[in-house]
Structure 1
Amino acid sequence: MDKIKVIKATSDDVEPLKKIGIETFSETFASMNSEENMKAYLEESFANQKLLTELKNPNSIFYFAKYEEDIIGYLKINTGESQTELKNTKSLEIERIYVLKAYHGKNVGQLLYQKAIEVAQEINVDYVWLGVWEENLRAISFYKKNGFVEFDKHIFRLGDDEQTDIMMKLQMKK
């Protein structure tokens, strides 16, 4: 899998972003949520206009993981006012890292994570933070392995279901 490339998405990438976003979110969470809640979340979160607005936002950056010509995962990071909660000018939020199940265990998530840390170092933030569903044990383990610690909780709405996310933070070395 040494041919995986991480490339920045552009405003021309609405359709591929929508496709990988829906596919990876569905693979990850469909079995644990109702069909109605999944449908409502996917329609709202991956609407073309919403994605285009996010892609054009200078404080939100998307990266694709590509293997040969296929997009196999993606990363979304936010800074400044684009962060979903903390909005600290000295922090970076990893809002999403998703990888197709067929590529789990092949270092794709780690490559996307490393891109987020590289950006955090470039813009000289004090810490990186994220929210992860308390039932997504695989992701929690991944972030703990990479040095993140829990610091709070918040509610994430999936359709009409309120779910608890664990908020995690990584202090950047100066």
Structure 2
Amino acid sequence: MEDIKIIIASAEHADLIAEMSQKTFYDSFHEQNTKEDMDKFLNEQFTIPALRVEVGKEGNIFLLAYLNDVPAGYVRLREEPLPDENSSANAIELARIYCIKEAIGKGVGSALMKKSLSIAKELNKEVIWLGVWEFNPTAIAFYKKFGFEQFSEHEFLLGNDRQRDVLMKKTL
């Protein structure tokens, strides 16, 4: 049985989170996107300075997962209203949930999701929501397994490529 531990990350973990962000995003999406778009996105979004700001910013909660004492994935939760002009729900966004390739299928993603849902409930949130690329059926199925349902969509810019994200939410 695998040993999974989840901690709340602090500013001292920013460099590790930046490294994991680059690796997991690249591993997940490089085959479906151009090198230029991937490089542009990674060099703008997942730099060490950018992650240092995010990790320490109020309203952000980062969770780090360790599989057998090796960093295996992370989550970024951020206090962000539901992107629906008709909604007044007290919401939190599951802005990122990433696992290293070697940890996929070993329970890390599920452990991170369960901890994220627990934290959202502890914060008395009514809704947790996320955006997921429309061409990521594995992730969409994972979110549905946890009770998330599609409610909208929005544009996501990866480098210079305009893509569509499906927005999903779960009432807590």
What's the TM-score bracket when you normalise by the shorter of the two chains?
over 0.9
1:6 corresponds in structure 2 to 6
Give the length in aligned residue pairs: 170
Q: CA deviation at 1:157?
A: 0.4
- Overall identity of the aligned pairs, in %: 35
1:69 corresponds in structure 2 to 69
Q: Secondary structure at the match of 1:12?
A: helix
* Structure 2 residue runs without a partner (length 5+): none
Q: Distance in 2 between matches of 1:8 and 1:110?
A: 16
Q: Map of 1:127-146 to 2, 5 A cutoff?
A: 127-146=127-146
- Alignment of 1:169 with 2:159, yes or no, is no
1:35 corresponds in structure 2 to 35
Q: Distance in 1 between matches of 2:138 and 2:150?
A: 15
What is the root-mean-square deviation in Å for CA atoms of aligned residues? 1.7
Is the CA contact (8 Å cut-off) linking 1:9 and 1:62 kept in structure 2? yes
Q: Map of 1:115-126 to 2, 5 A cutoff?
A: 115-126=115-126
Q: Secondary structure at the match of 1:2?
A: coil
Give the TM-score of the pair, scaled to structure 1.
Answer: 0.92
Q: For structure 1, which segment, 39-48 or 159-168, has the greater mean C-alpha deviation from structure 2 after superposition? A: 39-48
1:90 corresponds in structure 2 to 90
Instruction: Please list the CA deviations of residues 61-108 of structure 1 after superposition, one character each: whole Å capped at 9, or x if unmatched.
Output: 11111123321111110014xx69569671010011111121111111
Q: Secondary structure at the match of 2:109?
A: helix
* Structure 1 residue runs without a partner (length 5+): none
